[in-house]
Amino acid sequence: MARNPRASQTVNICIVGQSGRLQYEAVLFAASLRRKTRAKRFRLLIAEPQPGPLWPNDPRIKDTGTRALLESFDAEFVPFESKHFGAAYPYGNKIEALTALPEGEPFIFFDTDTLITGDLNRVPFDFDRPTASMRREDTWPKLELYGPGYTQTWKSLYDKFGLDFESSLDTSWPDEYWQRYLYFNAGFFFYKCPKLFGDLFLKYALEIRDNAPPELVCQSLDPWLDQVALPLVIHALGGGRDALPEGYLDGITTCHYRVLPLLYAREPNKVVDLLEEISAPNKIKKVLKLYDPFKRMIYQGRGHKVRAMFDRKDLPRKEQAIRNQIKREGFWMR
């Protein structure tokens, strides 16, 4: 595989860390990053929301053992203020967290429920052309009988922000089929500057939330607001679905597992092996066992019981079907 031509460029990797599930996911992320990516140019920043009126409780990681463990992986905590979303829409963290990153330096945002499974230094990033995860399903919009179709819904957003709709389309797919339209999962995204990206992301998200075009009247924006705004941001900044060669992120180099039961159900053996390898050291086990779903899935064997339920070569086509089967057997934990 080709090595990134900008191999000496410092890159800020950002995840959101806060009390609860995310702090334990952050431990797995940091441990996997340091296991698989040795290059010092990748700097791990943990964006941490601060207490304020939009949080009923202090969202910071209060456990000193977890903080010390993360810092042992060379993670740096960077605080940010929640001015627009907070507890009412925690997915907005990934938008407001960008304000904590160094301006003018390239960044990669990852959802915390991600493992680094390969060397990021070998990924041919072009930070001038942003993109995001193509590991997605047709989760938005949900079309209503007699309501606007995909074209009318998406075009209303492009028109609202003065963007060229036609150039965003993948015309290899038929009209009114969801993959024709630019849509990403927000599990990762990257660009050359967090301020340029974040300012536009925030502007679009707030305008869609507070003043959506009438074509969206029947559409839910919770939890989809970030994923509705994201393709508009990427398109406006000159990126797109082809800005990163296929097979790297959400492929050989990263795994966005979402929840541990899904990881055990569908991911390849190398991902399960990595998870159990990095979670085995006592200093990590001591922290992760504080979180009951991790204790039961990883250390008490429930993950392998979930794994035995599925044939990785013949998985249900829809993620929801996998989730439902796990729930029926009583193994769904998050």
Q: What is the pLDDT of residue 46?
A: 98
Percentage of residues of the chain with pLDDT beyond 70: 98
Residue 5, pLDDT > 90, answer no
Extract the tokens encoding 128. Answer: 């001038």
DSSP string, 117-181: -S-GGGS---TTS-EEE----S-S--PPTTS--HHHHHHHHHHHTT--SGGG--TTSPTT-GGGS
Distance CA 308, CA 291 (A): 23
Residue 4: which pLDDT band, with cuts at 50, 70 and 90?
Answer: very low
Residue 7: which pLDDT band, with cuts at 50, 70 and 90?
Answer: low
User: What one-letter code names the amino acid at 295?
Assistant: K
Per DSSP bridges, beta strands 185-191 and 131-133 are: antiparallel
Q: Do the Cβ atoms of 215 and 148 come closer than 8 Å?
A: yes
- Long-range contacts: 89-92, Cβ < 8 Å, 24+? 89/222, 89/223, 89/225, 91/186, 91/223, 91/225, 91/226, 92/205, 92/225, 92/226
Distance CA 284, CA 25 (A): 12
pLDDT tens digits, residue range 266-284? 999 999 999 999 999 999 9
Residue 9: which pLDDT band, with cuts at 50, 70 and 90?
Answer: confident
Q: What is the pLDDT of residue 175?
A: 98
The residue-averaged pLDDT of 142-150 equals: 93
80 φ, ψ (degrees, to nearest 5): -145, 155
The residue-averaged pLDDT of 302-312 equals: 97
Inter-axis angle of helices 225-236 and 194-210, nearest 10:
130
pLDDT tens digits, residue range 29-49? 999 999 999 888 999 999 999
Residue 3: which pLDDT band, with cuts at 50, 70 and 90?
Answer: very low
pLDDT tens digits, residue range 90-142? 999 999 999 999 999 999 999 999 999 999 999 999 999 999 999 999 999 99
Q: Do the Cβ atoms of 240 and 131 come closer than 8 Å?
A: yes
Burial of 295 (0-12, 13-18, 19+ CB in 10 A): middle
106 Cβ contact partners less than 8 Å away, ≥ 6 residues apart: 9, 10, 11, 12, 125, 127, 190, 191, 192, 193
Extract the tokens encoding 216. Answer: 């969206």
